Amino acid sequence: MSLSRVRYIDIPRVEDPRGNLAYIQDHSTPFPIKRVYYLYDVPGGATRGGHAHVECESIIIALNGSFDVSLQDGHNHKTFHLNRAFTGLYLPTMLWRELENFSSGSVCLVLASTLYDESEYIRDYEEFIKQTRSE
């Protein structure tokens, strides 16, 4: 997969002086959502991710605070900064991801296209490189 398929997704929202509301429905995502998880209380300087998915697509959202999503496709590298609760980052399969530079109190929400299945993760970077360069 190429980094060219990664894109920001605008999350529909309703602005209100009493507080804003954002919502996500299946028709507003590029895949049906099968799993939702979130990262919080990430210590300063910590990095999360460090893997690629063979089958799972995802959308990453900074619900609170900010962080960087560093992506590699085996040939190219690009970093995306997330800091708005109404903007998601769509990640197709076979991209090495690392999440870093978490601000204090940040919350990272992930919408996933598959249920958790450890066998579809690639956790070894050298194996990821071998697989992406043999395509």
Q: What is the CATH number of the domain that holds 82?
A: 2.60.120.10
Could you tell me the CA-to-CA distances from 73 to 42, 94, 132 in Å, in that order?
A: 25, 7, 7
Round to whole Å and give the CA distance between 19 and 82: 21
Q: Is 75 a catalytic residue?
A: no
**Active-site entry in 51, 75, 77, 81:** 51
Q: Which domain range does residue 27 map to?
A: 3-133
pLDDT tens, position by position, 94-121:
999 999 999 999 999 999 999 999 999 9
Q: What is the pTM of this model?
A: 0.93
pLDDT tens, position by position, 51-85:
999 999 999 999 999 999 999 999 999 999 999 99
Q: Is 4 helix (H, G, I), strand (E, B) or coil?
A: helix
Number of domains in the chain: 1
DSSP assignment of 16-74 equals: -TT--EE---GGGSSS---EEEEEE-PPTT--EEEEEESS--EEEEEEES-EEEEEE-S
